[in-house]
Structure 1
């Protein structure tokens, strides 16, 4: 058996897949402070559905994939380790200075104009915990000033005396010659045995002094909390009978062994949202879709990613907690819009989010102490969520309390009925999510009509009818794993390992041909070294031969620009024709990203980094659900249709009873123990052979 788990702010999601493709999904409330408790609660519930105990189930599991938000939370909450930074003399203020973009890092688009409120982020390494060391390497890797080892030793002792738990070392041009950083790491090990050390030349061996320093510092800052958390989860599983492989989903779309995750916790910053993207990519290939908009609406946030031609859009420069880190990650855009988003009237206007009621106290209808009206409360009042069947009846919701909260806090101040206020809450949050979808599609030169929305998360199926119609996409897919889709992604993802190297080549410009200046032999040699390193990592993980796939990419930009584009490099010999094709694909990607006619080859190009990713194929069974035959039971209830703003008779179905090719016209609700799918009055839904639901406009 195979398990995938994703821990969200409100629920812990689990997917179980057996050797025959049999599927079980379940949810349990997340347990802040004791996350392993929520994990085992979900395991026990899945086991009960298979007629066994949690321990009996774990004993049969051969692989456990886990997506985690622990690294993200540590950055947001600023509760990482006390970290000391050792830098080149004269460059100790790199983290504080950042770049100009530091003022706006992580600031919502609607607040970019609030100049008086711009602030540099709270530091992860206070200035008094930074030590500058006499040493210097030039851009070619030549040692200009030898490392002052005595000064390093003195700095380490001084930092240790101030209670530093972890160390980061970031010397200038260390990616060209890492020897000084390695000597510093040895000295730290001698002075503070067992101390966690991050070297910028290992964590982010690329050009960009600030990004490289921030990546190394964040890696050490996150390490103790992430490592402790992963150890706690794994020990809990092992004590309860689990003997299989335990892997962690990283931010680039693959899983990695716990040992590798412990060495590079910074690669887990977007681990949780990445799971849903990879689960969607995996399913879309089987359904024949190549261009996707993945949408994950949970209890606290709405996460969006774009997949073009089967490939998720990647970024080499990701913002985390106001700092920029230089590790490749799937681009995931998040806003504060979820089932727990709080609605309130401000200056006579209805606003929703971005703050959330979270898991505790949660929405008013949960009956856990929440007093502020939320999106979930609105869905209950509208009749879209049935308070008696929520979570399969395991959790009864208080509709009267939700209605009273919306009436008092929203309806009366705005002079509306309770149902009109609830519809307003829903339409506003749907519009906010649609605006985000426009930013990541139209804002990048993509036509949303060329894409299919994949809707998942606890609230995604409930709301996709709204934000999908608002965006104007022709089709929406609600996967059969939608209620735990990120967990499914952690289960289905391949083993992944990536390494990169900075090359710094300039090409083209003026009268030169576009690829003139790119040195094929140097690029080929760099790829060969990186490929050997990747293959060695795969062998250590027990994956060899045809189960290993290597992907080569290069980072290119026009001269004097600051942002790179990641361009695939085909396997085989690096020849002149290969480089010409590389430039052509860069320019095509540039215009696809920034608009037709934006390419300007006369400026010349810069190749900054080359990268190799290795994927070890995950040999998991495919989902093999057999839809029942016959007519499903149809229920009826009145709902207040949010777009029409009127009461309507609504058909209600049980997802598990629907036969293949079943079609229903809205308004309708298709219920599942972990979620509900709402089909608006203007839409039609159909079930496919593996029980995925497709929604289209009439």
Structure 2
């Protein structure tokens, strides 16, 4: 058996796949502060569904893939370790200075104009825990000023006396020549054997001292909490009879052994959202969809990623807690829009989010102490969610309490009915998500009509009929794994490793050909070390060489610009004749993002970095779902249709009873123990061969 688990802000999701491809999904409430408790509650729920106890289930599982929010939470809550930073003399303020955009990093778009909200983030390494060391390496790797061991020892002892638990070392141009960083690392480990040490050239061998320093500092800052959690949950698994492999989902779209994750906890910052993206890629390949908008609406946030030609868009720099980290990650954008998003009237206008009721106290209808009306409360009032069948009937919801909260907090101040207020809450949150999708697609030069939406998470299937229709995509796919799609991604993802190497090379300019001056042989040689590093990781993970797939890419930009584009290249040896094609694809990508005519090859081309990704193919059974063989007899439920502002009769189906190719006319609700799928008036849905639900507009069918 194969197990995947993802911990969300409200629920911990689990997917279990047996050797025959039979799928079991379940949820349990997340348990902040003791996340492993929620994990084992979910395991127990799954075991009960197949007639086992928790330990009996774990004894049969051979592979456990886990998406974790530990790194994310530590950054947001600032609960990482006391970290000391050693850096080159004169560069002690690098983290404080950041870049020009530092004081707006992470600020929601609608608040960028609020000067009072624009400020530098809370430091991960305060000034008093930074030490400057006299040393200097130039851009070519030549040592201009030798480092002194006594300086390293003095700085290390001062930081230890100040209570430092972990260390980060980030010297200027260390990725050109790491001798000084390696010496500093060796001395720190000698003086403090139990301290965690990060060397910047190992985690982020790239240009940009700020990004490299921030990546190294965050890696050490996160390490104790992440490593402690991973060690703890693995020990608990082993103690309950688990003997299989235990892998962690990273931010680049693959899983890695726990031992690898412990060395680079910074690569787990977006572990959770990545799972849903990779689950969408996996299902999309089976369905023949190469261009996907992956949308995850949970209890607290709405996460979006774009898949083009079967590959998620990758960002080489990612914002975390107000800092930029230079490790490749799937580009996931988020806004505060989820089932727990709080609705309120401000200045006579209805606002929804970005703050959330979360898991505790949760929406009013949960009966766990929540007092503020939320999106889930609105869905209950509208009749789209049945309060008696939520989580398969295990958790009864209080419709009266939800209606009372919406009446007092929204309807009365706006002089409207409770149903009108609930419909307004739903329309507003759907519009906010549609705006986010426009930014993620049109803002990157993509036409959303060329994509299909994949909707998952606890609330995604409930709301995709709204935000998908507003965006104008032709189809919305609700995967059969939607209720635990991120957990499915952790289960289905390949073993992944990425590595990069700096390469500063300039070509073209003026009347010269843009590729004139680029050295094909030097580019090919630069790939050697990253490739070797990735293949070693695959070997340590036990992946057979014939199952390894390698992708290569180059970071390119116009000269005197600061933002690179990642351009994929083939695995064939790069030759002089290849350079023209690589430059052409760079310029095509540039104009796709920045508009026709924006390319300016007269400026010349710069190459700054080469990248290698290796994937070790996981071999999992294809998912098989038992479906109904007869046409189901639907129940009828009165719902208040939010788009028509009127009461309507909706057919209610049970997902597991639906036969393949069954057609559903909206308005309708398809219920599952862990989610509900809403098909709006004017829409048609059908169940495909894989038991996924495909929603389209009547006009398109």
Alpha-carbon separation, structure 2, partners of 1:230 and 1:683: 45
Indicate if the aligned counterparts of 1:626 and 1:690 stay in contact, CA closer than 8 A. no
Aligned to 2:263: 263
Which structure 1 segments of 5+ residues have no match?
none
Corresponding residue for 1:444?
444
1:51 aligned partner: 51
| Paired residues of 1:298 and 1:457 also in contact (CA < 8 A) | yes
1:284 corresponding residue in structure 2: 284
Partner of 2:99: 99
TM-score if structure 1 supplies the norm length? 0.99
Residue of structure 2 in register with 1:625 after alignment: 625
Q: For residue 361 of structure 1, what is the aligned residue in structure 2?
A: 361
Which residues in structure 2 correspond to 1:8-19 (within 5 Å)? Answer: 8-19=8-19
Distance (whole Å) between structure 2 residues aligned to residue 435 and residue 560 of structure 1? 33
Q: Tell me, what secondary structure is at the counterpart of 1:155?
A: helix
Shift of 1:116: 3.4
C-alpha distance in structure 1 between counterparts of 2:298 and 2:595, whole Å: 32
Cα drift, residue 592 of structure 1:
1.7
Inter-partner Cα distance in structure 2 for 1:679 and 1:478: 11
Q: Deviations over 1:564-585 (max 9, x none)?
A: 1111110121101222211111
Of 161-170 and 567-576, deviating more is 567-576
* Counterpart in the other structure of 2:253: 253
- 1:302-338 deviations in whole A, cap 9, x for unaligned? 0001111111111101111110000001000000000
Per-residue deviation at 1:591?
A: 1.5
**Pair 1:502 & 2:519 matched:** no
1:463-542 correspondence to structure 2 within 5 Å: 463-542=463-542
Distance in structure 2 (CA, Å) of the matches to 1:562 and 1:178: 24
Separation in 1 of the partners of 2:692 and 2:323?
39
| Distance in 2 of aligned mates of 1:590 and 1:541 | 37
Q: Deviations over 1:328-383 (max 9, x none)?
A: 01000000000000000001000000000000000000000000000000000000
SS at match of 2:342: strand
Residue matched to 2:216: 216
Matches within 5 A, 1:391-470: 391-470=391-470
Greater displacement, 512-521 / 4-13: 512-521
Q: Distance in 2 between matches of 1:266 and 1:532?
A: 22
CA apart distance, 1:530: 1.9
In 2, Cα distance between equivalents of 1:231 and 1:324: 27
Name the SS for the 1:206 alignment partner: coil
Q: How much has 1:633 moved relative to structure 2?
A: 2.8
Match of 1:660 in 2: 660
Using the alignment, how far apart are the partners of 2:282 and 2:70 within structure 1? 25
1:464, distance to aligned residue in structure 2 (A): 0.2
Pairs within 5 Å for 1:534-553: 534-553=534-553
Q: Deviations over 1:606-655 (max 9, x none)?
A: 10000111100111111022422111131001000001000000100000
**CA contact 1:444–1:595 (8 Å) conserved in 2:** no
> 1:405: how far off?
0.3
Q: CA deviation at 1:544?
A: 2.2
Corresponding residue SS for 1:512:
coil
Distance 2:100 2:541 in 1: 41
Runs (4 or more) in structure 1 with deviation over 6 Å come to: none
Distance 1:233 1:201 in 2: 30
Q: Which one is further off, 525-534 or 558-567?
A: 525-534
C-alpha distance in 2, partners of 1:270/1:385?
A: 30
Task: Report the Cα distance in structure 2 between the residues aligned to 1:116 and 1:407, rounded to whole angstroms.
Answer: 33
- Counterpart of 1:575? 575
Residue 303 of structure 1 pairs with residue 306 of structure 2: no
Shift of 1:560: 1.4
Asked if structure 2 preserves the Cα contact closer than 8 Å seen for 1:626 and 1:689, the reply is no
**Per-residue Cα deviation, 1:200-248 (whole angstroms, up to 9, x for no partner):** 0001000001000000000000001111111111111111111100000
> Aligned with 2:355: secondary structure?
strand
Query: How far apart, in 1, do the equivalents of 2:301 and 2:532 lie?
Result: 40
Structure 1 position 185, deviation (Å): 0.4
The yes-or-no answer on 1:144 pairing with 2:144 is: yes
The equivalent of 2:68 in structure 1 is 68
Alignment of 1:343-362 (within 5 A): 343-362=343-362
For the residue of structure 2 that corresponds to 1:440, the secondary structure is helix
Given that residues 294 and 306 in structure 1 are in contact (C-alpha distance below 8 angstroms), is that contact kept between their aligned partners in structure 2? Answer: yes
Q: Deviations over 1:417-445 (max 9, x none)?
A: 00000000000000000000010111111
What TM-score, normalized to structure 2?
0.99
In 2, Cα distance between equivalents of 1:442 and 1:612:
28
Contact 1:11 1:29 in 2 (8 A): yes
Residue of structure 1 equivalent to 2:333? 333
Paired residues in the alignment total 698
Q: Report 1:678-697 matches (<5 A).
A: 678-697=678-697
Contact 1:666 1:679 in 2 (8 A): yes
Q: What is the alpha-carbon distance in structure 1 between the residues aligned to residue 616 and residue 332 of structure 2? A: 23
1:390 aligns with: 390
- Aligned to 2:527, the other structure's residue is in SS state helix
Secondary structure, aligned partner of 1:396? coil
In structure 2, the gaps of 5 or more residues are none
How far apart, CA to CA, are the structure 1 residues paired with 2:681 and 2:511? Answer: 61
Secondary structure at the residue paired with 2:361? Answer: coil
DSSP-derived class of the 1:619 partner? coil
SS in 2 for 1:419: helix
Measure, in 2, the Cα distance between the counterparts of 1:116 and 1:80: 27
Q: Could you tell me which residue of structure 2 aligns to residue 380 of structure 1? A: 380
Partner Cα separation in structure 2 for residue 262 and residue 627 of structure 1: 42
- Classify the secondary structure of the residue corresponding to 2:352: strand
Q: Is the 8 A contact 1:527 1:610 kept in 2?
A: yes
Q: 1-side partners of 2:447 and 2:573: how far apart? A: 36
| Aligned counterparts of 1:587 and 1:281: Cα–Cα separation in 2 | 27
* Alpha-carbon distance between aligned partners in 1 of 2:56 and 2:116, rounded to the nearest angstrom: 58
Q: 1:338·1:356 contact (CA, 8 Å) conserved in 2?
A: yes
Is the CA contact (8 Å cut-off) linking 2:626 and 2:656 kept in structure 1?
no
Q: In the TM superposition, what is the alpha-carbon distance from 1:511 to its structure 2 partner?
A: 2.0
Instruction: Tell me the alpha carbon deviations over residues 108-159 of structure 1, each in whole angstroms, 9 at most, x when there is no partner.
Output: 1111111233101110000010000010000000100001110110000000
Following superposition, the deviation at residue 508 of structure 1 comes to 1.2
Alpha-carbon distance between aligned partners in 2 of 1:117 and 1:288, rounded to the nearest angstrom: 44
Alignment deviations for residues 159-207 of structure 1 (CA, whole Å, 9 cap, x no partner): 0000000000000000000010000001101111121000000010000
When residues 626 and 689 of structure 1 are mapped into structure 2, their CA distance, relative to the original with a 3 A threshold, is farther
- For 1:682 and 1:236, locate their aligned partners in 2 and report how far apart those are by CA, in whole Å: 50
Secondary structure of 2:477's counterpart equals strand
The superposition leaves residues 47-105 of structure 1 with CA deviations (integer Å, 9 ceiling, x where unpaired) of: 11111111111011111000111111111111100000000000000000001010110
